[in-house]
Amino acid sequence: MDNFEVRFSGSGGQGLILSAKFLSAALMAEGYNVAQSQSYEPVSRGGLSRSDLVVSKGQAAFPLSRGLDYLLILHGAAAHASDGLLSKNSLVLVDSELVPEPPKGDFTLISLPFTDTARKLGNKRVANIVALSALVARAGLCPMAVLENVVRTKTPPKFANLNMEAFEAGQALALQDA
């Protein structure tokens, strides 16, 4: 894949922009040029939040999304915010608990228990890492070891074990489903 677009979407405070940063770092390490943008409300929690990656081997003229290859939806607030950017090649991953009414259309939709998996690990706030890991494992965006290294080195020591457990759990979720 020389060019592709990824969107992390949900509600403010879910760690969507952090997930996007982790994936950006992994993709850069793999030689890609990444343009990462974000949109959020002027509140510290809640509201529609998203971060997009426009990934290319060359230089992207327009750094914002024009058509999503991969879409993650972690909250119902974002369920239909990206409908206009989906096509039949899109892969859409949604949280089965928080997105009860996912987008419908001619694309691949996978509903997985990201939040519930995180909760069982002891903290639902790591749902973003569960989902990131599941998305990358399922879509093969980069080698898992590269992403794992990014998550490990960029996570504060206090959360290191929890994030690595979330990473493993996300990968397992994706493989179970496949």
Burial class (CB in 10 A: 0-12, 13-18, 19+), 115: buried
In the complex with another protein, the residue whose CB is nearer, 75 or 124, is 75
Shortest Å distance, C-beta 93 to another protein: 22
Q: How many residues bind another protein (CB under 8 A)?
A: 20
For the chain, the straight-line distance linking the first and the last C-alpha, in angstroms and rounded, comes to 21
Q: Is 63 in the site for another protein (CB under 8 A)?
A: yes
**What are φ and ψ of residue 9, in 5° steps?**
-135, 155
In the complex with another protein, the residue whose CB is nearer, 81 or 130, is 81
Strand residue runs (E) in 13-162: 33-39, 48-56, 70-73, 91-95, 108-112
In the complex with another protein, the residue whose CB is nearer, 66 or 158, is 66
| Contact region with another protein (CB under 8 A), list: 2-10, 17-25, 112-120, 135-143 | 17-25
Contact map string, positions 19 to 58, toward another protein, x by CB under 8 A: --x--xx--x---xxxxxxxxxxx----------------
Q: Which of 61, 104, 156, 176 binds another protein (CB under 8 A)?
A: 61
Helix (H, G, I), strand (E, B) or coil at 111: strand
In the complex with another protein, the residue whose CB is nearer, 36 or 155, is 36
Contact 9, 37 (CB under 8 A): no
CB within 8 A of 75, min separation 6: which ones? 9, 10, 11, 14, 95, 98, 99
Q: Is 66 in the site for another protein (CB under 8 A)?
A: yes
Q: Is 1 in the site for another protein (CB under 8 A)?
A: no
The site for another protein (CB under 8 A) is made up of 21, 24-25, 28, 32-42, 61-64, 66
